[in-house]
Chains A and B, each alone.
Chain A
């Protein structure tokens, strides 16, 4: 899928403690101990910086899997 490797690689900068190397399309990126408002802000920043796409906090609430996130980026 377009941008799949790029996004999973970029998530390394969103999470500090979680090992993101096992992340795949089905991973629910919010379903872990590290997810909070600051990781959400990191994700907003990274998606803007790496993909030039602006995503709202509301939108992130709607998305669950990495696949859904990539579909949004590729929209």
Chain B
């Protein structure tokens, strides 16, 4: 039976993915900062909960598990929106700790403690803002997401000896609750409409990545590794 580890499991995208697999034959462990942020019906399908603040790398380094995993997904992504010159050292370290270093550290632990099963598949959620589209005000987010693409390229070559695969998905704009919280602060209605016109298939929904995640985790993609899949409703071609 497959065992899955989901990191940043209380994020909107993670909850949507968990919804989509809740009837699958799977054991699911999660890493989450605050498990009370996971809805009840989702909590019931989770086997083991590990509570960690991904900004606290010293604590995260103590992660131990009694299980081995065949599917891993990293959902973390914080975006501190400011003009570049107003970023302070906390903004910078927090963004890179959560978005990049926590992933590097956890994969390091998973490999060195032999928590990865042979033929395991790892999926990391990056962003088009690290690949195809720059965005003013989001420089830390963009640069941290771009780092993941490089991570996957080289690490895939080290993991391939054991047939372990690692890939990124770079989504376009998705209507998450946190996006709306931010946009209410910054974007006017005209600007929201302008966004719509840049997405031929519309702005992403919460479940827009689920099929791609499942594909990359499963054996249908067994000859794909070290790749970055752009899933953006056609945005990069506009």
Complex CA–CA separation, A54 to B181 (angstroms): 12
User: Does B187 reach chain A (CB closer than 8 Å)?
Assistant: yes
Residues facing B in A21-71 (CB within 8 A) are 37-38, 41-42, 44-46, 49, 54-58, 61
Complex CA–CA separation, A42 to B137 (angstroms): 9
Q: Is the CB of A56 within 8 A of B82?
A: no
Interface of A, secondary structure class, is: helix
State the Cβ distance, B97 to closest chain A Cβ, in Å: 20
* Residue of chain A at shortest CB distance from B86: A45
Q: Is the CB of A41 within 8 A of B188?
A: no
A49: B residues at CB distance < 8 A: 86
Partner of B185, one of A37, A42, A54: A54
Complex CA–CA separation, A58 to B187 (angstroms): 8
* Residue of chain B at shortest CB distance from A42: B83
State the Cβ distance, A61 to closest chain B Cβ, in Å: 7
Number of interface residues of B (CB under 8 A): 13
User: Does A6 reach chain B (CB closer than 8 Å)?
Assistant: no
Over the window 186-218 of chain B, the binary record of Cβ atoms lying under 8 Å from chain A Cβ atoms (1 yes, 0 no) is 111001000000000000000000000000000
User: Does A5 reach chain B (CB closer than 8 Å)?
Assistant: no
Q: Which of B136, B137, B184 has most A Cβ within 10 Å?
A: B137
Q: Which of B82, B83, B86, B187 has most A Cβ within 10 Å?
A: B83
Complex CA–CA separation, A54 to B188 (angstroms): 15
* Residue of chain A at shortest CB distance from B137: A41
Q: Could you pull out 15 A-B pairs where Cβ atoms are within 8 angstroms?
A: A13-B85, A38-B83, A38-B136, A38-B137, A41-B83, A41-B137, A41-B186, A42-B82, A42-B86, A44-B186, A45-B81, A45-B83, A49-B86, A56-B185, A56-B186
Using a CB–CB distance below 8 Å, which chain B residues touch chain A? 81-83, 85-86, 136-137, 184-188, 191
Q: Which 4 A-B pairs have the closest CB atoms?
A: A45-B82, A42-B83, A45-B86, A41-B137
